[in-house]
Chains A and B, each alone.
Chain A
Amino acid sequence: MANTGVWDKLQTVDRRILYLLLIVFATVSLFFKVTVPTKPGEPVKDFYRSVMDIPEGKTVILQSDFTQSTRGESSGQMEALLRILMRKNVKFALLSVADPQAPLVALNVIRAINQERKAKGERTYVAWEDFVNLGYFPNAEGTANSMASNLTTAMAGRRENAPGKGPTDVFQSPVLQGIRAVQDVPAYINVTGSKTSNILIERLGKKVPFLAMVTGVMGPETLNYYASGQVKGVVIGLNGVAEIETLMDKGLKAENGHPAVAGFEGQINLGRGTGYYLALHACLTLMILAIVIGNVAMVVTRRKK
């Protein structure tokens, strides 16, 4: 029998060695501040075009359904989205249906972006004036149906702190002035780590332009709705964050009948997505190497036997 010792071992590398390699690849790459190039795909380009098309001063509904379990992807998506909305002075009504923690997580991201703007001497977003927190709704299907039928009744009783007044009906806020139905908003944006986007699309997709920022796991399923035109644009996973940050930095050239869309020159555009992108490359490289080595070892061992 031929000597297949090394190749046999390469077929059955101990999982602890793989774990150690992953830790090294992921952490070491985070220390390098390298801007890895990317080529934005059509779903992200359409998302960027749609968000940049929202008129200044208008209000969008922002449904944030992620918690820290998907922070690597969703936080970067939320940060990029908030940077665009705040730079365009677009107001937003925030709500969550997926997890009781989700509104607090979203408020933390808003606070972080506000601190970033404050450090640059820009206007910060103020609750009640620029955004309202509608809170958590435990039943996703019931809430989406209610919003599709009558937004004011669906959100009845929700209050936000008005300056000097205390908790006040959200419909009295500048954010929701003149908004009575979901059709009154120019876009409904969902940042999610689960299938809440599907629940919304099925119930609200015909009534309002819908945009989604989803995790890599939920991406393929959401692309069905993008292909059918029910979702106007999709940002998928960490790759999507890096892509939208690139678009924010460099803008979008005119193509396929779409006009050019400007970027935000001289501002902080490259954030979490670009920061983690090298780590994503390193981890995927490790995975591809591990698969290739395992297969080569298997083929060599078979031939020798």
Chain B
Amino acid sequence: MIPFLAQVEAPEYNMWNAKPGTPQLWMAIAIAMVVGFAIMVAMLYAPTRMRKPIASAAIFLAGLFWVLVFLFPQPIDTQVKVEQRPPGFVQGISFWLADAIPVVGTFANILTAFILGLGVFSLVRIHLLRVTKKQRDWPFSVVLLVSIVAMAFFGYADWYSRLGPNAQKIEESWPLTAYGKDLLFDGMLQVMEAAMFSLIAFFILSAAYRAFRIRSVEATILLAAAMIAMLSLMGAVVVGWDGWIEQVTNKDPFLTNFTLSSVSGFIRDNLQTPGIRAIDFGIGLGALAMGLRLWLSLERAGAN
């Protein structure tokens, strides 16, 4: 196992990689798919009482790897060649873990990519059903399906046309596939996404107007801090206020503490940042506890 994972040099030909476009690579992909499919089928047909221990074992091994990476002594230089590495059990394990991280990272990338694929599959399945059964608002599902197919087609066609040695010329000739991708991606999707996100500004304004009321001492403090934060984002106000303070006080060391940038900086450095840090510590501890429960399969909701 160790030699398979030892990839100090950029890999070319080994069990985990092959030259792009070669029959070896396609064969490896086919074998991996068959093996993966076989494991999936085996899991489907495994007795119900066996599924949980198998899943728990896989989760434990995956978690154990990262626990070891975090806790085990790390090599100072992972770029050293295999034959020049120091001998010894601890060093051996340490280098093995370091070498395995990119391989495990690639697995993680592949698994996450499958989640994206799963999302697309699920979306297509639900909306195809809605269209075939003519359920409520089915025309919107047609729009979604047509959009998915059109975007995928022009996206892949444009990507494929840029793979050859003449890819640079596409910038000059701009073929139909490039136009199609531009229209759909830049002309529609991107603009709609920007428009959707900008709607938040309307809700923020409406919510700020209704919520920021000085009904209590705490609310007054919050409002004052928010006002200072908002004013400090306005360069013209900061330049004007700070300039006026410096002029009136003749740059007195104490009184210049009342410039807008100093006051907002004080709030940011002494109130906001430590507050967020405390929240982050709390979140971290919670994530650690949840991680332990998942790693040791103690989280019943996820296991069942």
Contact = CB atoms under 8 A, between A and B. Distances in A.
B193 A284 contact: no
Interface string A118-137: 00000000110000000001
Contacts of B242: 39
Contacts of B7: 150, 153, 156
Interface stretch (A50-58, A81-89, A139-147, A250-258): A139-147
B130 interface: no
B108 A165 contact: no
Contacts, number: 208
A294 B212 contact: yes
B205 A18 contact: yes
A224 B280 contact: yes
A22 interface: yes
Interface range on chain A (Cβ under 8 Å from partner) = 35 or more
A153 B238 contact: no
Contacts of A303: none
A289 to B, nearest CB: 9
A142 B9 contact: no
A20 B7 CA distance: 60
Contact of B191 (A68, A104, A154, A277): A68
A104 B11 contact: no
Interface in B190-245: 190-191, 193-194, 196-198, 201-202, 204-206, 208-210, 212-215, 223, 227, 230-231, 233-239, 242
Nearest to B7: A153
Nearest to A26: B201
A53 to B, nearest CB: 24
A13 B9 contact: no
Contacts of B233: 216, 237, 239, 280, 284
B168 A161 contact: yes
Interface string A168-208: 01010000000011000000000000000000000000000
B92 interface: no
A138 interface: yes
Interface in A210-259: 216, 220-221, 223-224, 227, 237, 239, 242-243
Interface string A262-305: 00000000000000010011011111101100110011000000
Interface in B96-139: 98-99, 101-109, 111-113, 115-116
Nearest to B236: A36
A67 B209 CA distance: 29
A52 to B, nearest CB: 21
A160 B242 CA distance: 50
Given A150-B7, A153-B7, A138 B17 contact: no
A78 to B, nearest CB: 14
B9 A152 contact: yes
A67 B11 CA distance: 33
Nearest to B199: A19
A287 B201 CA distance: 10
Given A137-B109, A220-B276, A288-B230, A181 B79 contact: yes
Contact of A150 (B78, B190, B265, B272): B78
A167 B20 contact: yes
A145 B269 CA distance: 30
B108 A141 contact: yes
B73 to A, nearest CB: 14
Contacts of B227: 288, 291
Contacts of B209: 13, 18, 287, 290-291, 294
29 contacts: A22-B205, A39-B235, A67-B193, A68-B197, A72-B194, A139-B109, A142-B108, A142-B109, A146-B104, A146-B105, A149-B78, A150-B78, A150-B102, A157-B17, A159-B20, A161-B163, A161-B167, A163-B168, A167-B20, A180-B79, A224-B277, A242-B235, A243-B235, A284-B230, A284-B231, A284-B233, A284-B234, A285-B234, A291-B212
Interface of A: 13, 15, 18-19, 22, 26, 36-39, 41-42, 67-72, 100-101, 104-105, 108, 126-127, 137-139, 141-143, 145-146, 148-150, 152-154, 156-157, 159, 161, 163-167, 169, 171, 180-181, 216, 220-221, 223-224, 227, 237, 239, 242-243, 277, 280-281, 283-288, 290-291, 294-295, 298-299
Given A152-B10, A167-B163, 9 more contacts: A22-B201, A68-B189, A139-B112, A224-B280, A237-B233, A239-B233, A285-B234, A287-B230, A294-B213
